[in-house]
Chain A
Amino acid sequence: MSPDTIARWQFGITTVYHFLFVPLTIALSVLTAVLQTIWNKTGNDAYLRLTKFFGRLFLINFAMGVVTGIVQEFQFGMNWSEYSRFVGDIFGAPLALEALIAFFLESTFLGMWIFGWDRLSKKAHLVTIWLGAIGTFISSIFIVAANAWMQNPTGASYNPATQRAELDSLLQVILNPAFLTQWPHTIAASFVTAGGFMAGAAFYLLVKNSKEKAPKGDLTAYRKGLKMGAWVLVIAGVFTIVTGDFLGKQLVTHQPMKMAAAENLKEPLADSAKVGFQIVPKAEVFPGLLNWLYGTKNIQTIDDVKANQIGPNGYRFFDRKAGEWVEGSSLQTTSYSAIQGSLAEANMVPSVGVSFWSFRLMMGIGFLAMLGGIVMLVVTRGGKVPNPGWFWTCLAICMPVLPLLANSFGWIFTEMGRQPWIVNGVMPTLQGLSPTVGTGPVWLSLVLYTAIYGLLAVVEVGLLLKYIKMGLPAAEKVSIKDEGEELSFAY
């Protein structure tokens, strides 16, 4: 394999793996904080027990997110040094600010939350989980903004003296349409994931314990957890669809090749104003549906994009409403003559198979997860509980797994669909590679990361299952303890 292929596999594996933990961290921290807030307001012990139950699961997950996240920040310099050198003036700042603003907040206050149950007042302790949750949100803003800039590099231009991209306008980077559509979609999907996780665990325990002589208080608490999780899943699912629609329309404008590949538009169109949706390749249904979804009367095929995306001044956008090609961002146009080397790669097409299927799997699996949430709400309505059985166990297991899969396919589509570019329309992926690292070291790290991550996945899932099966912890009086007294939590 060529060095860039190995490095791309490594980035793909480590990033997809990292993002298994991230959405749970983002949204489960909020849901746990909500549970604890309800407990603070009502004093109902069921919510304290739920807080501790989901808090514990949240922390098992959070640990993995933290340690795999460090790899992400270092990887840019280690494997993609020329990318880092070229874009550091713009791309470095969000990473630095993410650490400075978000990671410190998150780690310090979650540390206080974990160990602070009997060292902080009830109110102060509640504030710590909310600050931790806010930290995870800020983190998501910075990192999605950084990624969005790679998809659509706004607010920057090429400086021939330094041979790199430099920041023109921070405001343009923040108001990047790619960021404004990607971030809400990512957050909504995170809530689908956390809702599914919460509903799945609570549903499993409710069904399992309903026929045994479990205390009634336990069953009530599981039901509360299930309701909250399932409703979060369904409502967040609707938001994911709506934001996904905005995101799709944005992509048609700024990354028309990505969308043409996602829709498998290889053949010339009979009528570009009446294009249907392909459920599987070439099985087109509902003529005109694609035009409606993407808000354009002029759907562009892969060949159309190839013929039009490079204009005399460089990379171009497709104005979907007018159905015309217009000039791209300042970086994509001013830099173009300086990076003529990219011309050869400019007309390469991302893998149509990967784009087409990851796009569909993302949507299909996401819809299935929503359906699962609705099923759980229906079968438990009015105090009913289904009889324990393999079907319900499977459903419980699917609830967190399906959204995680959908998230992964979404990111695989986002990143693979951007190829051959590392910065869309500006820098080909191949040019961003560290040219001096060589294949041997990257092979070594790829194999070892994969092995370590694989082992840790087994350990993590084992712990999650163990702590889910243990069920709700007993309600314990929460009070501030003196030195020399036994603490309620310790590693």
Chain B
Amino acid sequence: MTILAAEAFGLQPLWIILVAVLWIGFFVLEGFDFGVAMLVPFLGKGEKGKDDQARRVVINTIGPHWDGNEVWLLTAGGATFAAFPAWYATLFSGLYLPLFLVLVGLILRGVAFEYRSKREAPQWRYTWDWLMAIGSFIPALVLGVGFAWFLAGIPVGMAPAAFGNEAVFVAGGLDQWNLLLVVLTNVFALVGGLLFVALFLAHGAYFVALKTRGAVHDRAQEYGSTLGLVAAVLMLIFVVWGNLRMGPNGVLGVPWFPGEGATDLFGLLAWVVGILALAGLCFAWWMNSKKRDGWAFIGTTIATAMLVVMIFLHMNTGLGFADKTLIDMTSAASSNHTLTLMTIAAVCLVPVVLAYTAWSYFFVFRRRLNTVSIPALTVNTQN
């Protein structure tokens, strides 16, 4: 136990890394299923009368996985709550309206997956198809805006809180409507939102290509070629802008070594992983044009993971807030006792979760789908 004590070992950095890993897992996995769901109305355009079959092929590529993928978000949220209660409290109350939008999106898409094929009426199915697309677009966009804003540093200030004490709040407790205005005028954050959407669309297209055969597969490759390009351009803008604007003199400041002390190394690393993210995306696009579905998907996987790493490197110990003197890794953390117990649980359980998730992806559901795999155009009477 004492070896794990925070003073000696530094459990707060470990938990930042763990939270980052959970977000990487979430964006890599849910990223493609956001993309797949957004593409359903577009990839599912078959010959007349055949488009429902095609749509079902697309949806079924993520059928067994979407729910498990979403748990990464719940775990990231839960881990933040448990390890950094002040981070959770400040962030979630501060971003009330954006998070509400994310939740509405997630509700709609989850129900849409389960219910769209439960009735035969085309109108029923088309309604759910669009709800799953929109319900995936909204969280992708909002989370992208949010993470770009974390990179830049969300403004914080003190405001009155419980028991007559003061606590840290986003923008010092600025009201939600004005906060929305602040976000909507932050061009960098908006670029982040678009990047997440484009990246996930490409990631999703490559996943569909990897998991299907026939017309759906070919169409996914075609879409992937355009989407990959758009995502790469946005990634280039985001990586260069994101890393430059951290310089002490603003956009044209010294780009290579932003900040001071330890952040020098972090700034350099951020450039490295940012370039890796861009390279991953270019590689994915290239592999897709060579019809190597698996490699293309690996490319966007690397791009997504590296993008999140880059953002977390900039967040550093400040948790995505602009003022480390008000809130940072140390002041937001739980007690050593709690962190120690949580660490033991995480060390024991995360490998188990990874093992059975991998089994599900790489063994049970390794096969590609085709329109012939999908039962005829009737309601599933056979569960």
B-binding residues in A (CB < 8 A)? 52-53, 55-56, 59-60, 63-64, 66-71, 73-74, 76-79, 81-93, 95-101, 103-105, 107-112, 114-117, 119-120, 159, 162-164, 166-168, 170, 338-339, 341-342, 427, 431-432, 434-438, 440-442, 444-445, 448, 452, 456, 459, 463, 466-467, 470, 473-474, 476, 483-491
The 8 Å CB contact of B341, one of A63, A101, A170, A459, is A170
Given A63-B114, A73-B74, A490-B56, check contact A115 B337 (CB 8 Å). no
B86 x A96 contact (CB < 8 A): no
Q: Interface 1/0s, chain B 349-383, versus A by CB < 8 A? A: 11001001100100011011010111100001111
Contacts of B304 in A (CB 8 A): none
Closest partner residue, chain A, to B124 (CB atom) = A459
B254 at the interface (CB under 8 A from A): no
Contacts of B116 in A (CB 8 A): 491
Binds A, one of B100-108, B225-233, B317-325: B100-108
B173 at the interface (CB under 8 A from A): yes
B176 x A440 contact (CB < 8 A): yes
A-binding residues in B (CB < 8 A)? 56, 59-60, 63-65, 67-68, 70-71, 73-75, 77-79, 81-86, 88-94, 96-97, 99-100, 103-104, 106-108, 110-111, 113-119, 159-165, 167, 169-170, 173-177, 334-335, 337-338, 341-342, 345-346, 349-350, 353, 356-357, 360, 364-365, 367-368, 370, 372-375, 380-383
A438 x B382 contact (CB < 8 A): no
B71 x A104 contact (CB < 8 A): yes
A305 to B206, CA, bound (A): 65
Closest partner residue, chain A, to B128 (CB atom) = A459
A93 x B82 contact (CB < 8 A): yes
A74 to B74, CA, bound (A): 9
CB distance from B19 to the nearest CB of A (A): 10
A441 x B176 contact (CB < 8 A): yes
CB distance from B136 to the nearest CB of A (A): 13
A153 to B369, CA, bound (A): 52
B81 x A77 contact (CB < 8 A): yes
A487 x B59 contact (CB < 8 A): no
B114 x A108 contact (CB < 8 A): no
Shortest Cβ-Cβ A-B pairs, 5 listed: A88-B85, A77-B92, A92-B82, A96-B78, A81-B93
A437 to B74, CA, bound (A): 22
Closest partner residue, chain B, to A78 (CB atom) = B92
A438 x B176 contact (CB < 8 A): yes
Given A60-B114, A440-B176, check contact A84 B85 (CB 8 Å). yes
Other than A55-B383, A90-B338, A487-B373, give 15 A-B pairs with Cβ distance below 8 A: A52-B383, A53-B383, A68-B107, A70-B73, A70-B106, A100-B349, A100-B353, A104-B71, A104-B353, A434-B93, A435-B160, A438-B176, A442-B96, A452-B108, A488-B375
The 8 Å CB contact of A487, one of B73, B79, B83, B375, is B375
**CB<8 Å pairs between A and B, sample of 17:** A59-B114, A82-B89, A84-B85, A88-B81, A90-B338, A92-B338, A99-B77, A100-B349, A104-B68, A107-B68, A116-B364, A164-B85, A167-B338, A463-B118, A466-B118, A489-B383, A491-B116
Closest partner residue, chain A, to B376 (CB atom) = A486
Contacts of B92 in A (CB 8 A): 74, 76-78, 81, 84
A167 to B86, CA, bound (A): 16
Closest partner residue, chain B, to A76 (CB atom) = B81
A483 x B367 contact (CB < 8 A): yes
B364 x A119 contact (CB < 8 A): yes
B177 x A440 contact (CB < 8 A): yes
Closest partner residue, chain B, to A82 (CB atom) = B162
The 8 Å CB contact of B161, one of A82, A95, A105, A115, is A82
A486 x B68 contact (CB < 8 A): no
The 8 Å CB contact of A85, one of B107, B119, B162, B349, is B162
CB distance from A68 to the nearest CB of B (A): 7
The 8 Å CB contact of B173, one of A84, A88, A436, is A436
A73 x B77 contact (CB < 8 A): yes
A490 x B380 contact (CB < 8 A): yes
A489 x B78 contact (CB < 8 A): no
Given A60-B118, A66-B67, A484-B373, check contact A491 B364 (CB 8 Å). no
B380 x A489 contact (CB < 8 A): yes
Contacts of B84 in A (CB 8 A): 88
CB distance from B332 to the nearest CB of A (A): 9
Closest partner residue, chain A, to B58 (CB atom) = A491
Contacts of B165 in A (CB 8 A): 163
B86 x A473 contact (CB < 8 A): no
A264 to B94, CA, bound (A): 41
Given A73-B78, A452-B107, check contact A427 B96 (CB 8 Å). no
A99 x B89 contact (CB < 8 A): no
Contacts of B77 in A (CB 8 A): 73-74, 77, 95, 99
Contacts of A91 in B (CB 8 A): 81
CB distance from B70 to the nearest CB of A (A): 7
